[in-house]
């Protein structure tokens, strides 16, 4: 048998949870290897089309489950490459949520106040900027005007976009060929590489097992670069520390498949999955009413053109992000671009009495595609998702050569979740149907169930071992030296886009990982600056980091 390779730290996944931990550990002197399931794309690799084999299908992973479908990133840089760069911080009440377990979900050590210094580090590293109204697209302005017309407020969303480079090309979701989106390809990952970390694309981790010296052996398959259903090789790497950051739809599957060789998993592995409470509504606009009621016009052009947005969500309504409101009645509403294809299938005709996949009304609605506005809702759900037995390889049974698979996730929304969706749907309807501005309908769940682009909580942190897979340092219970730092560690729905919180939690997890690595004989220190060399954010977290290093 060929002797496996070895490394100090093996990081699985290169999104926010993987890239951030990899950078700090490599900068601290550890030998770091990153295994990424997807391809390594950059610059001109990001195509401006929806064809099979373009970046649109190569860089995404769409997994259909039972009652829930998950869309995630599948490339070096993970979700940061294909997300819309919306980077708000979670509101304070989120950290006090009780959810389905009836008691505080988050660890006592984490609140909005204690996480703020780690948020600041991300804001410095990305960097994150607060948009002003001059940055807002016409679609965002229309949503803001409609909110104002209905007596609501609207807010530009903080983001990670360099406006000096952005050309409003309309292909932000498929990566940015103009390097305007400040993904991890431009900060943490190149900084990790500069400190000696190695990234191996098209390496899909299958399982972990213990080694005789107390470390871990990580088994992987090499994925074919065109047909992801095929493997072109396999191997294993031994590591003293393993950081799992494969995403909330893949990390629990890897751990479940590892149980026969790694040992019993905590009860919460693969349970309490949250889709971040996400839901979409389509508003079909009456162009004349938009002009007459809101006073918005593009002269001879349409008041709104869905394929002319260029950016992701740039305006949100946050009126319901009020901690005094009861749980499950708090949510945010964001204007959003969603590309044609699956979006046109799932979007329903307003006023239809049954799911409207086709027919005369749907044909007319599609003819008016450029007059759509899509509103993205993020409510508080009940963490209903559960992962069943893992597939033979990977996180799903691959159906097509790229992008599409069928996974073991089961999700059946509770009355709490359904009521929250209904309340947010009614709010969207009230805002956009006033004075005949639009007709609104929520997307159907009948075809692919609920859907999320922000999967969370399938291996969550917490203080209660019966309801959390990880302790508050992100270490897997019963498996010292294994850490989880991706969205699966977040305890529940955040009511806002989660990237900023996932990243802040990953920053916070690093001191504990450094301590565990030292205990296992790795010569590593903690204290690297921001990837661009700034130290102001680091100074603010030093007392918190010192405490985590001692624990």
User: 446 or 301: whose pLDDT is higher?
Assistant: 446
Query: Does residue 449 carry a pLDDT above 90?
Result: no
Q: Could you read off the pLDDT of 213-239 as tens digits, one per residue? A: 999 999 999 999 999 999 999 999 999
pTM of the model: 0.96
d(CA 512, CA 482): 11
Rounding to the nearest 10 degrees, give the CA dihedral for residues 484, 186, 529, 490.
-20
**What is the pLDDT at residue 341?**
65
d(CA 85, CA 147): 23
Q: Which of 153-157, 162-166, 201-205, 434-438 bottoms out in mean pLDDT, i.e. has the lowest?
A: 162-166
Q: What value does the CA radius of gyration of the chain take, rounded to a whole number of Å?
A: 22
**What is the pLDDT at residue 536?**
74
Nearest CA among 476, 545, 469 for reference residue 514? 545
d(CA 166, CA 416): 40
Rounding to the nearest 10 degrees, give the CA dihedral for residues 183, 185, 189, 194.
-140
Q: For 365-428, what is the HEC assignment?
A: HHHCHHHEEEEEEECCCCCCEEECCCCCCCCCEECCCCCEEEEEEECCCCHHHHHHHHHHHHHH
Q: What band does 365 get if pLDDT is binned at 50, 70 and 90?
A: confident
Q: What band does 307 get if pLDDT is binned at 50, 70 and 90?
A: low
Cβ atoms within 10 A of the Cβ of 307, count? 12
**What is the pLDDT at residue 357?**
77
CB proximity list for 296: less than 8 A, separation 6 or greater: 138, 141, 142, 145, 290, 303
**What is the pLDDT at residue 299?**
66
Q: What band does 340 get if pLDDT is binned at 50, 70 and 90?
A: low
Q: What band does 339 get if pLDDT is binned at 50, 70 and 90?
A: low
**What is the pLDDT at residue 385?**
97
User: 320 or 538: whose pLDDT is higher?
Assistant: 320
Q: What is the mean pLDDT of residues 21-44?
A: 96
Token output for 346:
């799932």
Q: What band does 342 get if pLDDT is binned at 50, 70 and 90?
A: low
Name the region of 311 (left: φ>0; alpha: ψ -120 to 50; beta: rest): beta
**What is the pLDDT at residue 548?**
77
Q: What is the mean pLDDT of residues 346-360?
A: 81
Percent of the chain clearing pLDDT 70 (strictly above): 96
CB proximity list for 412: less than 8 A, separation 6 or greater: 67, 384
**What is the pLDDT at residue 174?**
82
- With 0-12 / 13-18 / 19 or more C-beta atoms within 10 angstroms meaning exposed / middle / buried, residue 302 is middle
**What is the pLDDT at residue 303?**
66
d(CA 347, CA 530): 42
Q: Could you read off the pLDDT of 173-190 as tens digits, one per residue? A: 888 999 999 999 999 999
Q: Could you read off the pLDDT of 40-84 as tens digits, one per residue? A: 999 889 998 878 888 889 999 999 999 999 999 999 999 999 999
Q: What is the mean pLDDT of residues 385-400?
A: 96
> Beta partners for 64?
69, 406
**What is the pLDDT at residue 308?**
52
Domains defined for the chain, CATH in brackets: 5-550 (3.50.50.60)
Query: Does residue 306 carry a pLDDT above 70?
Result: no
Nearest CA among 64, 39, 57, 53 for reference residue 395? 64
Q: Could you read off the pLDDT of 495-532 as tens digits, one per residue? A: 999 999 999 999 999 999 999 999 999 999 999 988 98
Is there a cis peptide before residue 127, judged by omega within 30 degrees of 0? yes
For 499, the enclosing helix (H) or strand (E) is helix 499-519
**What is the pLDDT at residue 172?**
84
Query: Does residue 404 carry a pLDDT above 70?
Result: yes
d(CA 205, CA 246): 9
- With 0-12 / 13-18 / 19 or more C-beta atoms within 10 angstroms meaning exposed / middle / buried, residue 433 is middle
Q: What is the mean pLDDT of residues 402-423?
A: 96
Query: Does residue 310 carry a pLDDT above 80?
Result: no
Percent of the chain clearing pLDDT 90 (strictly above): 75
DSSP string of 215-227, one letter each residue: -EEEEEEEEPSS-
**What is the pLDDT at residue 314?**
86
């Amino acid at each position: 048998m060929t002797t496996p390779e070895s490394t100090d730290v093996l990081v699985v996944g290169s999104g926010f949870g993987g890239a951030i931990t990899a950078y700090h550990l490599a900068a601290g002197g550890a030998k770091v290897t990153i295994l990424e399931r997807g391809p390594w794309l950059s610059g001109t690799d990001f195509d401006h089309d929806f064809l099979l084999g373009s970046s649109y299908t190569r860089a995404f992973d769409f997994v259909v489950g039972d009652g829930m479908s998950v869309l995630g990133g599948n490339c070096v840089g993970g979700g940061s490459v294909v997300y819309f760069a919306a980077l708000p911080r979670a509101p304070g009440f989120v950290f006090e949520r009780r959810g389905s377990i009836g008691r505080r979900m988050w660890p006592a050590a984490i609140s909005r106040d204690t996480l703020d210094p780690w948020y600041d580090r991300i804001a410095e590293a990305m960097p994150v900027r607060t948009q002003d109204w001059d940055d807002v697209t016409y679609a965002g302005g229309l949503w803001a005007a409609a909110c104002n017309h209905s007596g609501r407020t609207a807010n530009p969303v903080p983001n990670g976009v360099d406006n000096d480079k952005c050309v409003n090309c309309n292909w932000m979701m498929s990566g940015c060929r103009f390097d305007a989106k400040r993904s991890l390809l431009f900060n943490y990952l190149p900084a990790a590489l500069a400190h000696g970390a190695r990234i191996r694309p098209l390496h899909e981790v299958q399982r972990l097992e213990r080694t005789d010296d107390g470390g871990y052996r990580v088994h992987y398959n090499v994925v074919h670069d065109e047909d992801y259903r095929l493997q072109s090789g396999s191997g294993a790497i031994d590591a003293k520390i393993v950081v799992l950051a494969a995403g909330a739809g893949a990390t629990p599957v890897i751990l479940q498949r590892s149980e026969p060789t790694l040992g019993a998993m905590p009860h919460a592995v693969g349970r309490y999955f949250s889709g971040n409470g996400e839901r979409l509504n389509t508003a079909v606009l009456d162009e004349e009413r938009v002009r007459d009621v809101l006073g918005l016009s593009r002269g001879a052009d349409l008041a709104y053109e869905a394929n002319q947005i260029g950016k992701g969500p740039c305006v949100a309504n946050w009126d319901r992000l009020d901690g005094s409101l009861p749980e499950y009645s708090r949510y945010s509403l964001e204007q959003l671009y969603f590309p044609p294809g699956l979006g046109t299938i799932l979007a329903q005709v307003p006023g239809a009495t049954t799911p409207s996949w086709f027919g005369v009304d749907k044909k007319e609605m599609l003819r008016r595609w450029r007059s759509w506005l899509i509103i993205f809702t993020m409510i508080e759900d009940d963490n209903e998702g559960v992962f069943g037995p893992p597939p033979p390889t990977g996180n799903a049974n691959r159906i097509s050569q790229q992008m599409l698979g069928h996974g073991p996730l089961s999700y059946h929304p509770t009355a709490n979740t359904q009521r929250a969706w209904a309340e947010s749907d009614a709010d969207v309807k009230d805002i956009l149907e006033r004075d005949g501005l639009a007709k609104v309908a929520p997307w159907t769940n009948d075809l692919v169930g609920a859907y999320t682009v922000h999967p969370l909580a399938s291996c969550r942190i917490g203080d209660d071992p019966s309801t959390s897979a990880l302790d508050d340092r992100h270490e897997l219970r019963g498996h010292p030296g294994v850490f989880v730092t991706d969205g699966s560690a977040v305890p529940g729905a955040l009511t806002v886009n989660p990237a900023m919180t996932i990243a802040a939690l990953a920053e916070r997890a690093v001191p504990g990982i450094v301590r565990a690595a030292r205990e296992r004989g790795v010569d590593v220190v903690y204290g690297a600056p921001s990837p661009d060399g700034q130290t102001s954010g680091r100074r603010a977290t030093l007392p918190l980091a010192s405490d985590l290093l001692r624990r």
